[in-house]
């Protein structure tokens, strides 16, 4: 039986500029007829030619069961025509796309539209809560034990005549929101250590974080009127190696025996090494991280653990800044929204509206 | 005032750029983002130099003042200088003195620190699983089921044990984990937006 008869036309043969890309790509898609699966078609071979060319150039050979090819060698703005040829034992048959296509770079990635919607919703929630606050509607934040313990920890260190140690973990860099959140708490801790005249040690693995921390601590000491008590040598870079950093901080903990340890930031495998060492010297430990795996270690080894968004709420909680507190309240609104979306998604899936539910899920 | 306003303005511009470029696959946006990442690397290289110099200064101060534990400072200084000399003089490829020291000293020391984790996990687990109250009891029971579910003897006792272990991990544990992750995600987004909009300034020093 001739293959041509069965595969008279690949279904939905289409050629188009690849959507949501940076250009230089044309997508060729087709769907082989069901019958072809039982017929020994060797492969589909794709050819293309530019608008002025007469002869076809070989592009790629694709297995019969696949129905999609991205031509990533296309040049933006050049018109191409494509044809598909299927080869079988008794001959070849070909289909030429009747129209020309040129690739073009897009400015907007439509695949990320749900993310944009999410960001806009966050901004709206922030603006809405800020507006409510301006209208004078007060709101409270639930007590966060880990943050209330900051003063207690610094006070304890002062009474014992021992230093306070603060380290932001090995996993983060200055671009990470967790590091920014940790530096916000550092500012508050530094204010307390300055007021209580207690030493604050800050070892880190990242020289950029070191520079930022120096600034935060120094400013806190100046504000507390204790600029002369600021010790630049207590804020230091250790090493960028994970276990080298863990060993260095462990060394500081075992030698100087700080009475209070703050492990706040992005922690990875070194989390438990540091937390257990701190525990072994009897230090009061306050920890918080964005890693759910390390959180469980902190919970068993530390006295207080900031879970989930508590670390990010610290700045507003500790300073009482109305604008920051508004954003914390906005987070609560977004949480409610997420719960509503989750319920809506579950209901939509139950009633078979999978596509819409999938779009919501992406958001 | 300018010392605060300029960093906030720079932060706003680059934060906004980072946000906008995320939604654009256009080569111009990708190339601009790549350039910004190169700048970040350059800044990091300079601050690394500052970090190493600061570390050396601190350790030298410890030695010169013969502060407590000053012997450790000598080890640090010698380590930094020897590795710097080996690296600059002979390179960092395989077979060089730098790599020999790295393979025979740094790697075993790192392995030693990592090995300590096993003992720390044991002590942390002991503390975490102590039967103090109802919640700790539930945690202990869940831990026993999961541990048994992960070893052959668990299935030998009952085929239900591995199934229950999987259920604990995939249902209650996963839902709690996702709840925490949603909180972390929202916290990260709002912190980032606060920084971009200039609401959050603590990282620049106290207001």
Residues of A in contact with B51 (CB under 8 A): 207, 210, 236-237
Residue B56 tokens, joined:
């050396």
For residue B202, what pLDDT is reported?
74
Query: In this model, does residue A37 exceed pLDDT 60?
Result: no
Helices B70-90 and B27-64, axial angle in degrees (round to 10): 130
Query: In this model, does residue A268 exceed pLDDT 80?
Result: yes
Out of B114, B125, B193, closest to residue A122 by CB: B193
Whether the CB of A300 is below 8 Å from some CB of chain B: the reply is: yes
- The percent of residues above 90 in pLDDT, for chain A, comes to 35
What class, spelled out in words, does domain A3-102 have in CATH? mainly beta
For residue A34, what pLDDT is reported?
55
Burial of B68-86, coded b for 16+ CB within 10 Å and e otherwise, reads eeeeebeebbeeeeebeeb
For residue B7, what pLDDT is reported?
84
Q: Where are the domains of chain B?
A: 1-90, 129-200
Along chain B (207 residues), what's the average pLDDT of each consecutive run of 10 residues? Answer: 80 90 92 93 90 91 90 92 92 90 92 91 86 86 92 90 94 92 90 86 68
Out of A210, A297, A331, closest to residue B190 by CB: A331
Is residue B142 left, alpha or beta, with left meaning phi > 0 and alpha meaning psi from -120 to 50?
alpha
pLDDT digits (tens, 9 = 90+) for A176-233: 889 999 998 999 999 999 999 999 999 999 999 999 999 999 999 999 998 889 998 8
Give CA torsion, residues A113, A114, A118, A121, to 10 deg: 70
Whether the CB of A357 is below 8 Å from some CB of chain B: the reply is: no
- Determine the Cα–Cα distance for residues A144 and A307; give it in Å rounded to an integer: 10
pLDDT digits (tens, 9 = 90+) for A154-168: 999 999 999 999 999
pLDDT digits (tens, 9 = 90+) for A300-354: 899 999 988 888 888 888 877 778 888 888 888 888 988 998 888 888 888 887 7
Burial of A84-97, coded b for 16+ CB within 10 Å and e otherwise, reads bbbbbeeeebebeb
pTM: 0.83
Residue B120: count of CB within 10 angstroms of its CB: 20
3-state SS class at B198? coil
What class, spelled out in words, does domain A145-320 have in CATH? alpha beta
Q: What is the ipTM of this complex?
A: 0.87
A135 or A326, which is more confident: A326
Residue A183 tokens, joined:
């530096």
For residue A3, what pLDDT is reported?
30
Q: Which chain B residue lies closest to A111 (C-alpha atoms)?
A: B23
As a whole number, the mean pLDDT across chain A is 84
User: Pick from A8, A14, A11, A68: which is nearest to A39 by CA?
Assistant: A8
Out of A21, A22, A255, closest to residue B69 by CB: A255
- Determine the Cα–Cα distance for residues B106 and B91; give it in Å rounded to an integer: 17
Shortest Cα distance from A312 to chain B (angstroms)?
5
For residue A41, what pLDDT is reported?
55
Out of A208, A219, A328, closest to residue B205 by CB: A219
A62 or A268, which is more confident: A268
Query: In this model, does residue A50 exceed pLDDT 90?
Result: no
Q: Where are the domains of chain A?
A: 3-102, 110-138+323-362, 145-320
Q: How many A-B residue pairs are in contact by the CB < 8 A criterion? A: 201
Residues 269-298 of A with CB under 8 A from B: 269, 272-273, 275-276, 290, 292, 295, 297
The residue assigned the tokens 């990242």 is: A206
For residue A5, what pLDDT is reported?
31
Element (H, E) at B72: helix B70-90
């Amino acid at each position: 039986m001739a293959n041509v008869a069965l595969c008279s036309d690949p279904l939905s043969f289409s050629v188009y500029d690849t959507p949501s890309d940076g250009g230089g790509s044309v997508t060729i898609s087709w769907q082989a007829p069901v019958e072809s699966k039982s017929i020994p078609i060797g492969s589909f071979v794709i050819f293309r030619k530019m608008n002025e060319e007469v002869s076809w150039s070989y592009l790629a050979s694709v297995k019969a069961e696949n129905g999609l090819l991205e031509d990533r060698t296309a040049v933006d703005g050049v018109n191409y025509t494509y044809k598909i040829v299927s080869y079988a034992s008794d001959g070849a048959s070909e289909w030429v796309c009747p129209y020309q296509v040129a690739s073009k770079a897009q400015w907007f990635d439509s695949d990320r539209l749900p993310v944009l919607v999410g960001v806009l919703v966050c901004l709206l929630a922030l603006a809405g809560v800020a507006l409510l606050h301006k209208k004078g509607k007060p709101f409270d934040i639930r007590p966060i034990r880990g943050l209330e313990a900051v003063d207690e920890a610094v006070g304890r260190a002062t009474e014992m005549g021992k230093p306070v140690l603060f380290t932001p973990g090995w996993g983060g860099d200055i671009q990470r929101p967790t590091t920014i959140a940790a530096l916000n708490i550092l500012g508050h801790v530094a204010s307390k250590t300055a007021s209580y005249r207690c030493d604050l040690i800050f070892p880190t693995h990242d020289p950029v974080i070191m520079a930022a921390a120096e600034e935060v601590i120094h400013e806190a000491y100046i504000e507390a009127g204790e600029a002369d008590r600021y010790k630049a040598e207590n804020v230091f870079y250790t090493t960028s190696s994970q276990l080298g950093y863990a060993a260095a901080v462990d060394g500081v903990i075992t030698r100087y025996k700080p009475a209070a340890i703050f492990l706040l930031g992005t922690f990875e495998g070194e989390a438990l090494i540091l937390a257990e060492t701190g525990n072994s010297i009897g230090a009061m430990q306050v920890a918080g991280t964005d890693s759910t795996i390390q959180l469980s270690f902190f919970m068993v080894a530390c006295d207080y653990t900031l879970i989930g968004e508590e670390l990010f709420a610290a700045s507003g909680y500790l300073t009482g800044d109305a604008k920051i507190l508004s954003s914390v309240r906005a987070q609560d609104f977004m949480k409610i929204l997420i719960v509503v979306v989750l319920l809506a998604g579950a209901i939509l899936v139950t009633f078979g509206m999978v596509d819409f539910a999938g779009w919501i899920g992406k958001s | 005032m300018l010392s605060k306003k300029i960093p906030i303005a720079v932060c706003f511009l680059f934060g906004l750029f980072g946000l906008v470029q995320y939604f654009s696959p256009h080569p111009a946006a990708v190339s601009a983002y790549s350039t910004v990442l190169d700048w970040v690397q350059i800044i990091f290289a300079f601050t690394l130099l500052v970090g190493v110099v600061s570390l050396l200064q601190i350790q030298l101060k410890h030695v010169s003042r013969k502060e407590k534990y000053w012997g450790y400072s000598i080890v640090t200084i010698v380590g930094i200088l020897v590795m710097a000399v080996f690296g600059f003089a002979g390179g960092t490829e395989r077979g060089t003195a730098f790599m020999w020291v790295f393979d025979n000293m740094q790697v075993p020391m790192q392995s030693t620190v990592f090995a300590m984790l096993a003992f720390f996990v044991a002590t942390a687990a002991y503390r975490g699983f102590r039967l103090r109250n109802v919640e700790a009891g539930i945690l202990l029971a869940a831990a026993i089921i999961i541990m048994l579910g992960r070893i052959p003897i668990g299935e030998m006792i009952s085929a239900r044990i591995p199934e229950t272990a999987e259920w604990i991990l995939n249902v209650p544990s996963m839902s709690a984990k996702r709840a925490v992750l949603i909180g972390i995600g929202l916290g990260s987004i709002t912190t980032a937006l606060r920084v971009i909009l200039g609401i959050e300034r603590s990282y620049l020093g106290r207001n």
